[in-house]
Amino acid sequence: MRFSKKNIAEPEINLIPFIDVLLVVLIFLMLSTTYSKLTELDLTLPSSNSAAHKDQINQINLLISADGKYFVQSNPVESKDVETLSKALRQASSDMDNPVVVISADAQTTHQSVIQALEAAQRSNLQQITFASQSQSTSKATAR
């Protein structure tokens, strides 16, 4: 007995219609998509043309280092929390009338450290707060 093998045709998947459909979808998406540039914030660091006024009587200098340490009138603050900084600011402003807090923060200082300094000044009832800026001649020299 001879059994013959039946030739079973393997099914073929025709990819050409599939590619055509994908191209039509791609063209549709390309035509219907609007390309817009995302809005970006253009920030420039503060600079000053005037000479620095370092001899102000009612001025409290608050320095913030890159690692988040605070210095009030060049004296280090023991802790980084808001209460300790607020206490140091109250001590520094005890003998002054309406003092101005000048915050000088390092470029690598975190935003959280600056926000904590602002909160401590608010808790100490210090209303006049300003940020130190570098002169334009200094900023041009460091940009090179």
Instruction: Using CA atoms of 26, 28, 29, 35 in order, give the dihedral in degrees to the nearest 10.
Output: 120
What is the rounded average pLDDT for all residues in the chain? 79
Write out pLDDT tens, residues 42-96: 545 556 665 555 555 789 999 998 888 899 988 889 888 999 999 999 999 888 8
SS3 102: strand
SS3 20: helix
Residue 56: predicted pLDDT = 57
Residue 143: predicted pLDDT = 35
What residue ranges define each of the domains in the chain, with the CATH number in brackets?
Answer: 57-134 (3.30.420.270)
Distance CA 66, CA 106 (A): 5
- Specify the amino acid at residue 64: I
Does 39 have pLDDT greater than 60? Answer: no
User: Bigger pLDDT: 44 or 31?
Assistant: 31
